[in-house]
């Protein structure tokens, strides 16, 4: 499952980098929670929560059904 998650994050990364941000996969828990760390411009961006839920989490849950939630570690 972690390999699939990394592939999806690698596909998302260029979009975040285009806006000066990035994303790092920190952990995948046994219950399907994906913990990431938004970096660069994404870290302080007011739209980061929306990007995380409507972008990253939506795509991960679509491509990797075992994913239950995505959390940003600050």
pTM of the predicted structure, to 2 decimals? 0.90
Do β-strands 69-72 and 21-28 pair in parallel, antiparallel, or remain unpaired? unpaired
| 42 phi, psi to nearest 5 deg | -70, -30
**Structural domain boundaries, residue 18:** 2-72
**pLDDT number for residue 22:** 94
Total structural domains in the chain? 1
- pLDDT per residue over 18-74, tens digit each? 989 999 999 999 999 999 999 998 888 888 888 899 899 999 999 999 999 999 998
**pLDDT number for residue 47:** 86
**Residue 74 in contact with residue 68, Cβ under 8 Å?**
no
Q: Which residues pair with 39 in a beta bridge?
A: 22
> Domain of 31: which CATH number?
3.30.300.130
């Amino acid at each position: 499952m972690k390999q699939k998650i990394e592939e999806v994050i690698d596909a998302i990364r260029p979009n975040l980098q285009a806006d000066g941000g990035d994303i790092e996969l920190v952990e995948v828990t046994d219950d399907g929670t994906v913990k990431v760390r938004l970096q660069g411009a994404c870290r302080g961006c007011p739209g980061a929560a929306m990007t995380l839920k409507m972008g990253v989490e939506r795509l991960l849950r679509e491509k990797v059904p075992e994913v239950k939630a995505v959390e940003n570690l600050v």
